[in-house]
Structure 1
Amino acid sequence: MRLRRYEFFALLILLVTVTTLTGCESFIPALTEQMVSAQPTTVPTLRPPTDVPTEVPAQVPQDIVMTPSSAPSLDMAAEDELFDVQEALTIMVYERASPSVVHITSRVITMDFSGGLYPSEGTGSGFVIDEQGHIVTNNHVVEGAQTVEVILLDGTVAEAEIVGLDPLNDLAVIRVDVDPDELYPVDMSYEGQLKVGQRAIAIGNPFGLDWTLTTGVISSLGRPLQISSDQIIYDVIQTDAAINPGNSGGPLLNSRGQLIGVNAAIRAGAENIGFAIPLSTVQRVVPELIENGRYRHPWMGVEGYGLFPELAQRLELPVEKGMLIARIASGSPAELAGLRGATSEMVLGNFRILVGGDIIVAIDGSYIESDAARREYLETRTRAGQEIEVTFYRGDELMTTRVRLGEMEQ
């Protein structure tokens, strides 16, 4: 049977349509798979590369455990592992230095209002410095004591004699007659430069709690510690390590157990503000206390005012800083060296000022900006009997002279 032309074309279009739809059905699943695999929320499964072995190689030693085991119990841990580095250092310092520390009891006979005598006692700390039995403490711990008793760490009790006192620096040396094998001198070999923030460790007997350790840091350096109107201890170390009554005279140590100071005082009404006399002062004073029983403080024999710009302008002086000499003691080293004191008096506001004297501006090349600076320089950097060079103004003329320092009367 023969198809008409239009019927032929209709059949041809039908065949093409069916073929196209069949191809779309096979294409859609492939397209859908590509779109799903592009979604960011789908995490592909990771498989090891075929060229990398999944087992432990044979050359790995058998004693190496590739997977962590359970942590050991605290009971099984070695003792040293229980401490961190900081704790271990503190423990080492205490074990090393505590045998050097002693408990000091001083007894004084005092009189009451009725004239009766009764004993009183105070306690403090100290530390052994040699095998001859010399012990360093504060002057205020043993000053005026009729008897001094020392207790060592092992419980040994011994009477002590006072060897030397230095009230101005609040230092004292006492001595016990004890077998050298029972004495453990503190390490005084530190020669470094102290820095703020450096660890500070105090050992002493606060409130009778013997051999107590407290820790802190060096809070400041070079402090002047005003004890009274005429007593200043220079270059003092400030620390926040707890210092309490009974700590006086005990050692202040660094993290190696080396002596860096002698605990001496606290700021009344404040917390964590304590002061220690520096090792440099101990090294300067103690040998003289052992040898002579006293420290010979250098003396120049002058008194005066510290200058400042306003005062210098009012007095029409050639410099704005320095020490204006007001008085010179008769027969003093300053007078023998030719220095001159005030020649007249001037009233400035409500004050009378002695003027016309020489103006000290330097000692041995170090600038002196006030009378306090002059006294500090003499105390910390010179000795009695030493000759110093003094630079000064007389009028507008800059001059120098040499002064041999004498010994201050105490």
Structure 2
Amino acid sequence: MSDTNTSRLPLYIAATSLIVLLVLAGLSTFVYIQTQSELSDLRERMTELQSRIELIDGSGSNGIRDQKVYALTEKSVVQILNKQTGLDGLEPTASGSGFIYDKKGNIITNYHVIEEAETIEVTFLDGETVKAVLIGADPYSDLAVLKVETSQEKLKQVTLGNSSELSVGDTIYAVGAPFGLSWSLTKGVVSQIGRTLPTSGGYSVVGVIQVDAAINPGNSGGPLLNSLAEVVGVNTAIQSETGMFSGVGFAISSVLIQKVVPSLIEKGRYDHSWVGIAGSDVTPSIAEKMDLTESRGFLVISVVEDSPAERAGIRSGNKTEVVDGRNMTLGGDVITHIDNKTVRKLEDLLAYLEYQTEPGDKIILRTIRDGQILDIEVTLGVRPPPQTE
């Protein structure tokens, strides 16, 4: 080894040592920052857990409980603005609410809040507004998923509860932006469960929760909470003759959310089971005309061409008679059971199809045809998209 190389050796060693020290310092800083972030997140989780434990214990007055429910949720709720092109460029067309579903930036809202939007803006509790991308929508359940890019600190996801555990009289809370008044809390009770709400394409959302908590324009898409601050529904609609709240509000159940939303995130759509029939609930007058022993079940009036029902041999009506003063097509199959579950009316059939089946499943429909009982196997298809005018 030459004298020149020998003299440079300490310099190489020093440079290498410096690089190693810089790398180690950078790693230490990174680890420190990550640790501090994780510790901060852990402290926040512990605080939230303590609050939930207190809610479960029932400690504190009703007012204190209400405050805790709100405090556990406020950072998870967002305001949503639907903008479309107008005379002055992009203009606000509709507004509503939503809530953070996960740490990946997915946000749940109603489909009707963002329908036909050209630009969607999401505002967080601290006032920051960001643009959102629509990644999945389902008009039939009136659910949609948006995605935002923002800091992890802002993405405080909700805790989903089980709406099937709700009972009439349970305390519930609605959080949203009625009339643009962001982060408003209202309180009420579950008025009834298992309601049906008309939606796109002549179909209905089934298993809807009816509440008396004040829900007004702007609340749509916001969370319905139980007394543990868990999301048990998405506030969706009101029933009113004036357009203002009159004591009857509706929310899409969390059970349906848990079925639909993962598919919206993964595929951008949700496939609903489909039979392909239309008809009427059996009334006493229909039962009398068709010589039925009882007035329950669903009368098939028409069968969609090339539908699962047609392929299975479900029979539609074949004669017109006057029933209760109006013409009606009779003679079709009367569905009384689906997979041995009683069908009292259409809602029973729709609820079973929505919550208990998937496209491709085989079901058994028990029908009454010309006084005989038939069991007909139907392979379920995918409900066609709503027709646009």
Identify the residue that residue 79 of structure 2 maps to in structure 1: 103
* In 1, Cα distance between equivalents of 2:163 and 2:90: 46
- Work out the percentage of aligned pairs sharing the same amino acid: 39
In the alignment, structure 1 residue 239 sits paired with structure 2 residue 211 = yes
The residue that corresponds to 2:372 in the other structure is 397
Deviations 1:101-134 (A, max 9, x none): 01111101146xxxx8663332211000101100
Preserved CA contact (<8 Å) 2:134 2:145: yes
- Note the C-alpha offset of 1:318: 5.5
- Say whether the 8 Å CA contact 1:301–1:334 is kept in structure 2: yes
Please report how far the alpha carbon of residue 347 of structure 1 lies from its aligned counterpart in structure 2 after TM superposition: 4.1
Deviation at 1:392, TM superposition (A): 1.2
- The alignment partner of 1:168 has SS state of coil
Give the residue type in structure 2 aligned to 1:98: E
Match of 2:326 in 1: 351
Q: 1:375 aligns with which of 350, 374, 381?
A: 350
Task: Note closer, same or farther for the CA distance 1:322–1:149 as it changes in structure 2 (3 Å cut).
Answer: same
Matches within 5 A, 1:221-300: 221-227=193-199, 230-268=202-240, 269=242, 271-300=246-275
Structure 1 residue 155: Cα displacement: 2.8
Provide the TM-score with structure 1 as the length reference. Answer: 0.73
Give the C-alpha shift of residue 400 in structure 1: 0.9
More helix per residue: 2
> 1:236-289, CA deviations, whole angstroms, 9 ceiling, x for partnerless residues?
222222212211111111111100111111222352322111111111211121
Shift of 1:372: 4.5
One-letter code of the match for 1:91?
Q
Instruction: Give the match for residue 138 of structure 2.
Output: 166
Partner of 1:120: 92
* Residues 352 and 286 of structure 1: CA distance in aligned 2, closer, same or farther (over 3 Å): same
Q: Identify the match of residue 169 of structure 2 among 180, 193, 197.
A: 197
2:277 is matched with 302
CA distance in 1, matches of 2:69, 2:325: 57
Task: Spell out the pairing of 1:314-353 with structure 2 (5 A cutoff).
Answer: 314-317=289-292, 320-348=295-323, 350-353=325-328
Q: For residues 200 and 265 of structure 2, what CA distance do their matches in structure 1 show?
A: 26
1:387 is aligned, of 325, 347, 362, to 362
SS at 1:377 equivalent: helix
Whether 1:220 and 2:192 are equivalent positions in the alignment is yes
Contact 1:306 1:321 in 2 (8 A): yes
Whole-angstrom distance in 1 between the partners of 2:98 and 2:89: 28
Distance verdict in 2 for CA 1:294–1:192, change over 3 Å: closer
Q: Which runs of 5+ in 2 are unaligned?
A: 1-58
Secondary structure at 1:296 match in 2? coil
Q: Given the superposition, is the C-alpha separation of residues 117 and 100 from structure 1 closer, same or farther in structure 2, using an over 3 Å criterion?
A: closer
Alpha-carbon distance between aligned partners in 2 of 1:341 and 1:231, rounded to the nearest angstrom: 19
Counterpart residue identity of residue 158, structure 1: V
Q: Which has the larger radius of gyration?
A: 1
CA deviation vs aligned residue, 1:157-189 (integer Å, no higher than 9, x gap): 211000111112211110101232321110014
CA distance in 2, matches of 1:255, 1:379: 27
Shift of 1:309: 3.0
Q: For the structure 1 residues 228 and 160, does the alpha-carbon distance in structure 2 shift closer, same or farther, using more than 3 Å as the test? A: closer
Q: Tell me if 1:187 matches 2:162.
A: no
Comparing 167-176 with 83-92, greater Cα deviation is found at: 83-92
Name the SS of the counterpart of 1:186 in structure 2: coil
The Cα of 1:396 is off from its aligned counterpart by 2.6
Root mean square deviation of aligned Cα:
2.3
SS at match of 1:94: helix
| Structure 1 pair 387–264 and aligned structure 2 pair: CA distance change class (3 A) | same
For 1:275, the aligned partner's letter is: F
After TM superposition, list the pairs within 5 Å mapping 1:6-17 onto structure 2: none
- Give secondary structure in 2 for the equivalent of 1:217: strand
1:105 counterpart letter in structure 2: L
Report the equivalent of 1:59: none
Per the normalisation by structure 2, the TM-score is 0.77
Structure 2 residue 380 is matched with structure 1 residue 409: no
State the alpha-carbon separation in 2 of the partners of residues 308 and 213 from structure 1.
42
Deviations 1:54-79 (A, max 9, x none): xxxxxxxxxxxxxxxxxxxxxxxxxx
Cα distance 1:341–1:266, how it changes in 2: closer, same or farther (>3 A)? closer
Number of matched residues? Answer: 324
